[in-house]
Structure 1
């Protein structure tokens, strides 16, 4: 019920006049190549958010994906799936969730939207690297995103993992569009993400640099760029949590 409520909230946000919609399938995508680090977060086998392995025992995702209606014992992480209707993947229980302490579930302020999930057992040789230091990006770099979300505002969800190329905006340009801290932006007129893709990675040069977080009003050609949480801005917190 809580998951349904969150999805309804996301659908209502534009009418309520908020600046960004959270809980956001891959738009203009294609069937993905091998991405063993991808994670589908599920409740009773139903996908609701993406994520990605950043170590043998930790999944990174968006903090707004936290499923408040049920204890996290009801949430499982499906690791390395391509088609969610097959059984060629690992399903692992979660031990603990760590949302960033400064995150607020407020679509007006989608900052600090990052969470780490500790798995009940380790997964070997499937992680993706994350940045080692804080860094900015040049305009027009081609990166990629992937997920099992909707392919449009009212489109169906996907059982098969899709991916799309996206074009990075510079930090300055991103700040001009969204006056938030510690975010990254990609152009809104080509590939993008939609409901169900939240928490997945923004990948540049085989490195996860961002977490899929928010868009404005519509997931197809939104009026402002797609927004991501900038991973490198949270490295001290990430290292602290992963040391537990």
Structure 2
């Protein structure tokens, strides 16, 4: 059986996989402060555990495996996790899960500004092979290494579904997932962050190699947002 790393901060069991959860952006560069104002830090007990992104002033999208028990909070308007000035910390009112997607309904609406804003999601299926995209997060810079206290980013390319399936076997669903490759990529602590193509979030960070962050022989896999559009619209429109 192939083992995987969910790109979450910490270790937890997952009902679908026989693996410990233990997989920042590696080989990336520091993002220009607040150049990705949709990014949020998902936190538990004041500690970063996952990435996420604002899809409206009241809803955040992230990965379902980031819900590890206990209440989560969202830190918006942050670039450097050690500096909390001008950031906004908001508690979560409700959790909605489907496959490995999770939508967090915030306790109050976020006041959007130049440092805190939303990112569009697809209005129809989209994820063309070999499209150039990017990822970002505050996870580890190398596996078991130091964390990225400032937001890091890297460029990646969407790969063909056949090679993704050949690599991941039955864990991979071409209808609900996509995989990417790049010189830089996701690591432990980056779960839930967006795969951004153009100005649209098309995927959510899911899992990667069991051996190395951004393993050149193992693609990083993302949940395909367009596969869940009816569910997303139902939640965000009815609340």
Pairwise CA RMSD = 2.2
Deviation, 1:22, is: 4.5
Q: 1:129 — aligned with what?
A: 120
Say if 2:180 is the partner of 1:186: yes
Distance 1:190 1:40 in 2: 24
Show CA shifts across 1:141-197 (max 9, x none). 22100100001111111221111111211334333333422101111x511111100
- Cα contact 1:190–1:221 (8 A) shared by 2: no
Aligned to 1:232: 226
Q: Deviations over 1:84-125 (max 9, x none)?
A: 11122111111111111xxxxxxxxxxx21000001111244
Change (3 A) 1:124 1:137: farther
Where do residues 146-165 of structure 1 align in structure 2 (5 Å cutoff)?
146-165=136-155
Match in the other structure for 1:7: 10
Query: What does residue 206 of structure 2 align with?
Result: 213
String of CA shifts for 1:191-236, please: whole Å, max 9, x gaps: 1111100000000011000000101212142532110000000001
2:166 aligned with 1:176, yes or no? yes
In the TM superposition, 1:1-244 aligns within 5 A as 7-9=10-12, 22=21, 24-33=23-32, 34-68=35-69, 70=70, 72=71, 75-87=72-84, 88-100=86-98, 112-125=99-112, 126-139=117-130, 141-179=131-169, 180-181=172-173, 182-187=176-181, 190-217=183-210, 218-221=212-215, 223-243=217-237, 244=239
Determine if contact 1:216/1:222 at 8 Å carries over to the other structure: no
Q: What is the alpha-carbon distance in structure 1 between the residues aligned to residue 119 and residue 236 of structure 2?
A: 15
CA–CA distance in 1 between the matches of 2:22 and 2:75? 19
Aligned length: 217
User: TM-score, with normalisation over the residues of structure 1?
Assistant: 0.82
- TM-score with structure 2 length normalisation? 0.84
Describe the shift of the 1:229–1:21 C-alpha distance in structure 2 as closer, same or farther (beyond 3 A): farther
Q: Would the alpha carbon gap of residues 23 and 94 (structure 1) be closer, same or farther in structure 2, given more than 3 Å must change?
A: farther
User: Any gaps of 5 or more consecutive residues in structure 1?
Assistant: 1-5, 101-111
Q: What secondary structure does 1:177 align onto?
A: helix
Counterpart contact for 1:22–1:214, Cα < 8 Å: no
